[in-house]
Structure 1
């Protein structure tokens, strides 16, 4: 057997040697890295010793009279002024801790000079069984810092007395700004994924953390500040966790992000839990989204967009969710979207499915700046022929899209739906001119849709009334005739618009009809009046052609146009 496989044995031997060599090389690399780290650390330790030698004879740490009153012993530090290599431990004991009005020691760190991470940082250190201990790092790296330790009063709530103060000369240049929590943050059991509260950012900061003592009914408030500019926003807590991509709205430079948690003793009030300093490296300035009270009241979470001012090619998407436990959460079946450019305004509706919404809408009025408002519907029990809605978020969008206001699908007009396209193709088969196609569509709608008297009398209007619904039910009121006719016209590449107005004899009522662009001329079509009439509370089908491109002098005797709806 040995003579049969000499090459294999040699190969395995070489392969094993290679593995051994590779492992040794990796070990050497790690060893060199460790040695380099120790060498650097040793360098700072040497500088620390030299600095302490310069200070000379060190004066012992002095305690205040209040320290004597409550029996304070400071284990660390031992001196009033000394050098440190990146960190210092504050360690103490309080004999009369049971008499104190708070369970936290308040430690304040001040840098002598302003740095990228500010010039101060505060620690609230828990006092447990009379003991407190805090590791302190230095947020601006190398430099001089003053540290004061304050302990709670025995007589007054939220009042602290000086206990000890000392000066530290930090020789280590590494910037380390600890994530510190206020008592409110600690009571919420808040923790962040970031190990430092000084972070480099680029347009977006991914905030992520836990708040173990908060419930799904709670929210966390964010407050972003830069100079005189500020922005606030509430984000949800789910299973004790939270996350949000925070836009660094205000361009290049330091943004201060304050994270606030609910105050258990005050309704709709928040207290600071921690503060982060984010150095934004991007010069891009973004527009904050304006949130209204309805955002929180109705349990909305807007996942996208996070900021306004984005550019679009004429189509824009939103994404979010509704809290099922919020007021009217289960009843919120849709979201309204209002897009406004100058004097032009359009309304779109997108559904909420399983408490989530995600859809796109058109910026239909051509290139320019649009004001977009997102709204939740009013929830009411009685029927009505109008809908009220309440804005919860507002932002701007820059569009480069074309002005196709009378060709694009719109609210109630699903001209891009396959059923509509197929029906339009069938109805206009054999017709070549736009006018003949429009006449065929007018005839089809007027002949095939019956007037819904019950809907009219009972004000049984719904947010999802539409061309598709009318095509399926073959019944409706004036708006439904118009929806279907416009959808078929647009699906046939004919510009068409929804006209609002009043119609009738002595007492005209609200009415809707259609205008189509035929050979460069806007022509009126009223398929509702062309379908028949009402007699004794019943609809009588009686098709007529009088309301396809009618004589406008005669038409205006019964119809008053008030505007166009998009």
Structure 2
């Protein structure tokens, strides 16, 4: 019989090769522990039940297949084809010609004849050492009948096994206990789990996976998790640091048993994984959540998102993310911020979350009103030189449900537009009086912005853009380019309670067009255009000449034909 091969491909360049199997550590999940006296009484009762059942059976001698003679194999236990036990059956034997075998494990497969609590099958891989093997097999689903197949490796082909013996065993013990078992791949890298301590556990919404893998080698120091229930599947790559790992696994799919497969890295091939062990987690919560999608860059850049752990959560106007950056990961020190993209119904907004001392914990706005948002967390591309465009790599994706009642996209603070900052609010209060009309308010802010800022010719010439360019920064520097004029005007307008938006496009004359940004502000229910950059002055002989003009406050179509609008950015 050949061992089954499974191939799984996950997001972004990870290829996986999986081989099914299992072996060794035993653990129980009894919720209440009997006293020593009760244990003794139970043991006596079970021994009597075993004797009674065996008396009812025709216990025929166990016969081995022809392959046993070929490799010189013998079974010391069991000795019959059908018999009864108390929970544990021992499989013990010898192999005279072990040196001819292509593998060094005996494969033991157990199937429960009936409805199982988790899975009706279980597998062990027992090491063959000095021509001997011995494995205590726990009959995992309590009282009932089990079919057991013992197989030996081929002498000619790797990952191929032949039947040695088959037998039926009856368990008289009703306790349902599932061992932690490890495949040969897991045993070779010495995978061991500290939590959970059993192959079947009951949990509520989330459970902690913790363990060690001290013999991991190569560049792929990670595990791969695969969670399944009712046709749904979630995969995640989990970093291993100093031979240890710990992770809170969300039980996304509601009440019932979740199957979790843990894969260990293939030591011979990068980005390949092999089956390590399988757990069954019985979730007692009815809550159904959405898995977070993690890209390969998440692991490569050392991102650890501690909140949220699942998608689909409800919130109001803002949502928080929290986590860390592994300080040993590539570009960890240079990762001073994260980008957060929110999308809803064709609208998109980009926010920035700061990273301080390798930690991040901050909120961002869901600015497009009620509904479902797609949220994408990204790390910046680390470049030696600044440029006029920012590039970033997605690391995680999830959804959030906003219960906000209003669409406040043009009133809320946004990237570069700190309309809630005290300095911005103070200036807005100086510029705006209660008796002003909305048009007068907009005009006052246009004039202040155009007169207060000098155009930064060098910044434009050298594409010296920075991720933290903003209204506050341009106030401090007193110079900037079109985006900076726009940031400041927007911040002051929104701080004054006026809806305003960032317009992207091009501007120029003849063949001399370049990227440009300006402002649209809602005045008396209508959108009014203003360009404080062009209103500030002009460039002559490579130098900025301050020359304030009102021409670009509410310009007519003829005056604004130099501008071409491509859209609104949030």
TM category (shorter chain) comes to: 0.7 to 0.9
Q: Counterparts of 1:133-532 in structure 2 under 5 Å?
A: 133-192=134-193, 193-214=195-216, 217-401=220-404, 402-428=406-432, 434-506=438-510, 507-532=512-537
Which 10-residue stretch deviates more, 126-135 or 292-301?
292-301
Are the equivalent residues in 2 in contact too, given 1:337–1:348 (CA < 8 A)? yes
CA deviations over 1:395-427 (Å, ceiling 9, x no partner): 221111231111111111122233333343344
Instruction: Tell me by how many angstroms 1:283 deviates.
Output: 3.6
State the match for 1:562 in structure 2: 566
Instruction: Tell me by how many angstroms 1:162 deviates.
Output: 2.4
Distance 1:419 1:124 in 2: 68
Instruction: Tell me by how many angstroms 1:342 deviates.
Output: 0.7
Instruction: Tell me by how many angstroms 1:461 deviates.
Output: 1.0
Instruction: Tell me by how many angstroms 1:330 deviates.
Output: 4.3
Instruction: Tell me by how many angstroms 1:529 deviates.
Output: 1.8
Are the equivalent residues in 2 in contact too, given 1:59–1:79 (CA < 8 A)? yes
* Residue 534 in structure 1 maps to residue 539 in structure 2: yes
State the match for 1:16 in structure 2: none
Instruction: Name the SS for the 2:50 alignment partner.
Output: helix
State the match for 2:10 in structure 1: none
Structure 2, unaligned stretches of length 5 or more?
A: 1-31
TM superposition score normalised by structure 1: 0.87
Which 10-residue stretch deviates more, 502-511 or 460-469?
502-511
Instruction: Tell me by how many angstroms 1:124 deviates.
Output: 0.8
Instruction: Tell me by how many angstroms 1:123 deviates.
Output: 0.4
Distance 1:365 1:41 in 2: 66
Structure 1, unaligned stretches of length 5 or more?
A: 1-29
Are the equivalent residues in 1 in contact too, given 2:293–2:396 (CA < 8 A)? yes
Instruction: Name the SS for the 2:342 alignment partner.
Output: strand
Alignment RMSD (CA, Å):
2.6
Are the equivalent residues in 2 in contact too, given 1:431–1:437 (CA < 8 A)? no
Instruction: Tell me by how many angstroms 1:51 deviates.
Output: 1.0
Instruction: Name the SS for the 2:561 alignment partner.
Output: helix
Distance 2:427 2:243 in 1: 52
Q: Which has the higher contact order (CA 8 A, sep 6+)?
A: 2
Instruction: Tell me by how many angstroms 1:116 deviates.
Output: 1.7
Instruction: Tell me by how many angstroms 1:68 deviates.
Output: 3.7
Q: Counterparts of 1:48-127 in structure 2 under 5 Å?
A: 48-55=50-57, 58-127=59-128
Instruction: Tell me by how many angstroms 1:564 deviates.
Output: 1.3
Distance 1:298 1:31 in 2: 45
After TM superposition, the runs of 4+ consecutive aligned structure 1 residues lying more than 6 A away are none
Instruction: Tell me by how many angstroms 1:258 deviates.
Output: 1.0
Instruction: Tell me by how many angstroms 1:89 deviates.
Output: 2.0
Match of 2:35 among 33, 36, 42: 33
Are the equivalent residues in 2 in contact too, given 1:117–1:177 (CA < 8 A)? no
State the match for 1:8 in structure 2: none
In the superposition, relative to structure 1, how do residues 154 and 503 fare at CA in structure 2: closer, same or farther (>3 Å)?
Answer: closer
Instruction: Tell me by how many angstroms 1:237 deviates.
Output: 1.0
Q: Counterparts of 1:542-557 in structure 2 under 5 Å?
A: 542-548=547-553, 550-557=554-561
State the match for 1:24 in structure 2: none
Instruction: Tell me by how many angstroms 1:429 deviates.
Output: 6.7
CA deviations over 1:350-401 (Å, ceiling 9, x no partner): 2333444332211100001112222233344444322233333322211112
Which 10-residue stretch deviates more, 427-436 or 78-87?
427-436
Distance 2:488 2:47 in 1: 81
Are the equivalent residues in 1 in contact too, given 2:376–2:398 (CA < 8 A)? yes
Instruction: Name the SS for the 2:460 alignment partner.
Output: helix
In the superposition, relative to structure 1, how do residues 542 and 556 fare at CA in structure 2: closer, same or farther (>3 Å)?
Answer: closer
Instruction: Tell me by how many angstroms 1:328 deviates.
Output: 4.4
Computing the radius of gyration from Cα coordinates, the structure with the larger value is 1
Are the equivalent residues in 2 in contact too, given 1:235–1:301 (CA < 8 A)? no
